[in-house]
Structure 1
Amino acid sequence: MTRLPPLNPLRAFEAAARLKSIRKAAEELSVTSGAVSRQVQLLEDHRGLKLFRREPRAVLLTAAGEQYFSAITVHFRGIREATEKLTGARGPEVLKIRAYTTFAMKLLIPRLSSFQSLHPHMEVRITTSPEEMDFEHEDIDGAIRLGDGKWPNYEMDRLVDNELSPMCTPSYRDRMNFRSGADLKNLSLLHSLARPDDWMLWLKAAGLDGIDPYAGQKYSSSVLAYQAALEGQGVVMAQRVLVADDLAAGRLIEPLDPVLDRGEFTYYLVYPRDRSHNPAFRQFRAWLIEQAQTPSSQMIRD
């Protein structure tokens, strides 16, 4: 069994500062969290400075810690690059992207193989969460968020149109004798809790009164509501780009007009300004923007 080199204070500090987490640093270094904390404490005692502020969700660098981390980062990077050059072993560049479950499953993951084919030395790690991104505390490079494009202090790119339309299966339409907007009051409306107002906005645009826009079955994410519609359980208000494959295959239909365009309220890639200087992130960003604007029928598949 290969022995890891002894943990030293500088190595522990660098990992904890880079990952913004004692736990994650311990996982990377294959030691316990206590071992990392002890080494950081030794470094703080030796320097006579507090390098971290401990908070419930993360460890944050103090001003002195930021200055020290900036000074040593270049040296650690140089050591890693020299080792890779010496051994000829270069690990994959890892990009960490957080997205909503629906966007990840319906658009991102089905197309990700094309990025990996173009960039075999990069690894994209996708995590999902409905929570607001927190670049200060999370170890992520970018986040795909639903919103109006207003995230102060961050860069962002608009990804897709947000065109909404009621959808159901052909068999549900026929079984329920669904022929007009007025019939919606007798049908099961399917909702995503992540987008609670979509039905209300569409009904208003369609000029339909007397229909409760919040009645019906509710799901924690849009992808679950879409699946319920595919199972013939009701009518879902769907973002067309995310169900393009189902529409093209005839699994879902659009029985009613109009299509509501929510304009700037849609999905964006959001990231800190310094990520735009990272060559790997720039390549992923350019690929994602291109893919998001490519119709499903023209997707690059293996």
Structure 2
Amino acid sequence: MKTPFPPLNPLKTFEVAARLSNLTLAAEELGVSQVAVSRQVRVLEEFLGVTLFKRLHRGLELTDEGKLLANGISRAFQDIHNATRLVSRRGRRDILAIQSYTTFSQRWLIPRLTDFHDAFPRIEIRLSSSIAPVDFETQNLDAAIRAGKGDWPDLHSEKLTDIELTPICSPAFQKQHKLRVPDDLRRVRLLHSMARPTDWAAWIKRVGANVDPDPGIRFESSALAYEAAAMDSGVALAVKVFVRQNLQNGTLVAPFDASCYSGEGYFLTWPTAIPPSQPLMKFLDWMRQQLASDTDA
């Protein structure tokens, strides 16, 4: 004789309440009243014939039976979530939701998106920007461009390019301050990116310069620091691929040949639990081709 399957609504309600340890927060996440949450939990307790929670003054505490059930169903609901996301994406395979950094988007990706659309007119890119860590469980994303070593847990990472750092300034600024060797940076203002706060210290250590990396002006994004450098405000430390065109057309200069690799790279990432779609793989191949041509230029 088959064991009756527990009702799904009470199971889901219990999963949320167990995860949050609070009926009020569970009610907010589920969009129902606290009374409704309590009622659903009681239905499940009556079905199972056990007590799942100890009701405390400041929240909930799982009983031993509650802990056993919570551990068993949390992964199951995550699997359901992943499966429905996968099926949903297959129903809209020509839409790619991509998250990137503001500077990566502004300085490299956006100027090239028309080329991608010309090559793949049926694929619609939906681009968002953030410096916050990506959360694929709560954000409706297909992939994200991240900087690091490519070792994020539960994410598949494909390297796009290594991060090469080089000081930049305007031609007028270099001429005015007679910048010839890295130690000359002691005499000028450094422009920092709060999105990459350790770059100057790492670069100075790599090239062996006798320069204090801390003073200067700090900007929210690297793109703003690059703009300030172009306006004679000081010397910024740039990811070379983002300023390659400026260096070629002379709007920015590298005052000395002292670029170095940071040991990190940019990666296209997506959840390991969700196989990549064909549009995503086309996007990955296209980005690699574009970055390779930039490097060869």
Residue 94 and residue 224 in structure 1: after superposition, are their counterparts in 2 closer, same or farther (change >3 A)?
same
C-alpha displacement of 1:249: 0.3
**What whole-Å deviation, never above 9, does each CA across 1:129-154 have from its counterpart, x for those lacking one?**
11001111111111111111111221
Distance 1:152 1:113 in 2: 33
Distance 1:154 1:76 in 2: 20
AA in 2 matched with 1:108? L
**Where does structure 2 lack aligned partners over 5 or more consecutive residues?**
1-8, 10-27, 45-72
Alignment partner, residue 245 of structure 1: 245
AA in 1 matched with 2:175? D
Indicate the SS of the match to 1:214. Answer: coil
Q: What is the 5 A alignment of 1:91-110?
A: 93-110=94-111
C-alpha displacement of 1:251: 0.9
In the alignment, structure 1 residue 295 sits paired with structure 2 residue 285? no
Alignment partner, residue 188 of structure 1: 189
Distance 1:282 1:261 in 2: 27
Alignment partner, residue 153 of structure 2: 152
2:82–2:273 Cα contact (<8 Å) kept: no
Residue 295 and residue 65 in structure 1: after superposition, are their counterparts in 2 closer, same or farther (change >3 A)?
closer
AA in 2 matched with 1:236? A
**What whole-Å deviation, never above 9, does each CA across 1:220-263 have from its counterpart, x for those lacking one?**
11111001001111011111111011000011111123221123
Alignment partner, residue 127 of structure 1: 128
Distance 1:77 1:184 in 2: 50
TM-score for the superposition, normalised by structure 2:
0.69
Distance 2:229 2:120 in 1: 36
Distance 2:89 2:100 in 1: 29
The structure number with the bigger radius of gyration is 2
Give the CA RMSD over aligned residues.
3.3
TM-score for the superposition, normalised by structure 1:
0.68
AA in 2 matched with 1:216? G
Distance 1:189 1:173 in 2: 13
**Where does structure 1 lack aligned partners over 5 or more consecutive residues?**
1-12, 14-33, 50-60, 81-90
AA in 1 matched with 2:127? I
Distance 2:84 2:270 in 1: 25
2:230–2:252 Cα contact (<8 Å) kept: yes
C-alpha displacement of 1:179: 3.1
Alignment partner, residue 200 of structure 1: 201
Distance 1:260 1:74 in 2: 40
The answer to which of 284-293 and 101-110 deviates more is 284-293
